[in-house]
Structure 1
Amino acid sequence: MEEERADSFASGVNFYKVALICIAGSFAGVVVELLWCLFRNGYLESRSGLVYGPFNPVYGIGAVIMTLTLYRYRNRSSSISFFGGALVGSVIEYLLSWGQETLFGSTSWDYSHMPFNLNGRICLLYSLFWGILGVLWIKSIYPRTAQVILKIPNRFGRILTWVLTVFMVFDCAVSLLAVDRWSERVQGDPPASAVDTFFDQHFPDDRMERIYANMEFGTD
């Protein structure tokens, strides 16, 4: 209530705060995955979801939806946040996996070898991780993130939010087009326009393989 009464550009859960949380979550998710890869495999490997910068919208979208769905329960039992986080995270992960395979014929993760998986898109273990993240997010990470955002001066905060939002939209659009053209090259399709030629020159296979280290295309 004190936050919502504050004279801030990001009071409550408004556009500015949601946008900044999405961008921050997109960045933080990549950092966590990089550290996990280093800890588990002993090396660093790109976990970015966009062609420009260390951002992965999967985590940004997850942070936003968790905020919007769990914010009202922030002062309730942690079990609500756990089951809510597990459900929200699993649905997001499933839909994004399905969308990527449908649009580009590719996958970036496959849990078929994991017990209690659903079409290889989600599995019980990672759903539990989403649940834990839901509790950590709404009980600890989100309040601290909100405090940092609220300290940003109003005028600068509004300008910063719009600049970053425009950049992220541009980054997402270019990334979608680059991946789409990459999938066409995998299928052996030659460039059919100046746009295709542009992406072939600026986003060749070796560059895309470095950015999307875990992306695999179907062979059919």
Structure 2
Amino acid sequence: MDSTLLQQTPLQPDPGIGSGSGSERTPWGLKVFGVLLMIGGVLLIPQAVGVVVAMVELFAGGAYGDDSVLTVILSLVLAAAVCFAIVAGVVLGVRLVRGRRRRARLIAESMAIALALAFASDLMLYGVNEGLWLLGAAALILVAAHVAVDPSLSDERELQRRLRLMETRDELEEGILGLDKSGAGFIELDFFNLFWIFVIASVAGVVIESIYHVLVVDFGHYEDRAGLLWGPFSPIYGFGALLMTLALNRFHNAPVPVVFLVSALIGGAFEYFVSWFMEYAFGAVAWDYTGTFLNINGRTNFMFMCMWGALGVVWVKLALPALLHTVNLIPWRWRYSITAVCAALMILNGVMTLVALDCWYSRLAGAAPDNALEQFCAEHFDNQWMEHRFESMSIDPGAAHRSS
């Protein structure tokens, strides 16, 4: 590297979203981020009002079914999450516009968690509805704006402009690109790494499940194990890998038995939650372990928790380094453009999958399509198409527990 160039263009440390006293000049990108967050908070106000009205009607009615306690809990979670997201979004937006960046990253991450909880609760209670689109729009604003001004991405773009990728190329040659430079964890938990972890794990999950089904469950018979409308993706494995990475990133050097145990518990809990979520929201059953050894309500069991544990060990000890090497093969000048396009396509895939599942549920419940989107799904993703695509899944509207 040319030391003269480095001396002529010294790099000043960027305090980033999560640090700084607020006295530094705030980049325009962060101010735009703040404005978008305030807009997202405003977008959620109708959702908050709708949640409050629905809760008032729920309590005023006084007649609850067998799942009244869970319905009330989900309603409270939805109301609390939406209100928190509104307040957090406005507070964070105002702070960024005013140049006060201290603890901004913590507030943004808390808001993201609140939006995820609100989205899941709303979907389970009411299916796909207008309020869900508002939550999704707010989440997209948060993700898009956060990615656009992420400190690590801004630093990398600045390096590319000022030093022509010299330091980045050094990191690539040294094999440390994407690693956690602080040493606290194994990899940098930025959007770029986490997105490709999700994608690769989703594809690997389909491959693993397909091979397992062909060789063990029903020898010689192939069954489509994909979980999205398009492509060989199983999101349960993608999200499972994200959970494993987030939970074990700081423990990548821990003994294998510790990694196995933590992975088994996280994987089992996640599998249980997904099974419960799908049944509550759509009356869908994709697996049932009833009657197997140490099963928990048929949603997970001892054997599959052990499999999650083994996958966690392989993931942390072997797969993550290989994955990091693989994603770093993406040409540096294109990596964020490619990631942005792929992320947009994956979000579209996920949204359309939820919509298609909801329309499938409605048709099985006897409801005729009453809008253009439902008509589109009826024409392109009819019951036969959905049964063929999601071969391992069955939907029984009578088993769902929606409030409407």
| TM-score bracket for this pair, using the shorter chain length | over 0.9
Alignment of 1:81 onto 2:276: no
Q: Aligned residue for 2:200?
A: 24
Aligned residue for 1:69?
247
Deviations 1:68-120 (A, max 9, x none): 11111111201111011101111111111111111101110111121211111
Instruction: Give the deviation of 1:162 after TM superposition.
Output: 1.2
What letter matches 2:321 in structure 1? Answer: P
CA distance in structure 1 between the aligned counterparts of 2:330 and 2:396, rounded to whole angstroms? 46
Equivalent position SS for 1:154: coil
Check 1:219–1:151 CA distance in 2 against 1; reply closer, same or farther (3 A cut): closer
Q: What 5-or-longer segments of structure 2 have no aligned partner?
A: 1-167, 180-187, 399-404
Give the Cα–Cα distance (whole angstroms) in 1 for the partners of residues 286 and 274 of structure 2: 10
TM-score w.r.t. length of structure 2: 0.52
Matched residue, 2:328: 150
| 1:132-152 Cα deviation digits (max 9, x unpaired) | 111111001111111112232
Distance 1:165 1:86 in 2: 29
1:9 Cα shift? 7.4
The structure number with the bigger radius of gyration is 2
Query: Which stretch shows the higher mean deviation, 111-120 or 52-61?
Result: 111-120
Matches within 5 A, 1:87-126: 87-126=265-304
Q: 1:2-25: CA deviations, max 9, x gaps? A: x9x936874423210110110111
Amino acid across the alignment from 1:126: F
361, 365, 369: which is aligned to 1:183?
A: 361
- The whole-number CA distance in structure 2 between the counterparts of 1:51 and 1:118 is 29
1:47 and 2:225 matched: yes
**CA RMSD after TM alignment:** 1.8
Cα distance in 2 for partners of 1:102, 1:48 equals 21
* Letter in structure 1 aligned against 2:343: T
Identity %: 34
Indicate conservation of the 8 Å contact 2:286/2:392, yes or no: yes
Q: 2-side partners of 1:164 and 1:155: how far apart?
A: 16
Conserved 8 A contact 1:27-1:56: yes
Q: Which position in structure 1 is the counterpart of 2:314?
A: 136
Moved more, 63-72 or 36-45: 36-45
User: What secondary structure does 1:6 align onto?
Assistant: helix
Change over 3 Å in CA distance of 1:184–1:219 after alignment to 2: closer
The 2-side partners of 1:199 and 1:151 are apart by 38
Describe the SS at the equivalent of 1:155: coil
Q: Which whole-Å CA distance do the structure 1 matches of 2:225 and 2:298 have between them?
A: 19
Normalising to structure 1: TM-score of the pair?
Answer: 0.93
Q: Aligned equivalents of 2:225 and 2:236: distance in 1?
A: 11
Contact 2:264 2:305 in 1 (8 A): yes
Counterpart of 1:199 in structure 2 is 377
Aligned counterparts of 1:219 and 1:169: Cα–Cα separation in 2: 26
Q: Are 2:171 and 1:6 aligned? A: yes
The one-letter code of the counterpart of 2:201 is G
Q: How many angstroms apart in 2 are the aligned matches of 1:194 and 1:156?
A: 37
Q: 1:9 touches 1:157 (CA, 8 Å); kept in 2? A: no
**Distance in 1 (alpha carbons) for counterparts of 2:377 and 2:342:** 23
Change (3 A) 1:185 1:14: same
Secondary structure class of the residue paired with 1:129: helix
Q: Distance in 1 between matches of 2:285 and 2:261?
A: 26
Determine the structure 2 residue equivalent to 1:169: 347
| Counterpart position of 2:153 | none
- Contact preservation (8 Å) 1:84, 1:131: yes
Report the number of matched residues: 217
What letter is aligned with 2:370? A
- Select the structure with the greater relative contact order (CA < 8 A; seq sep ≥ 6): 1
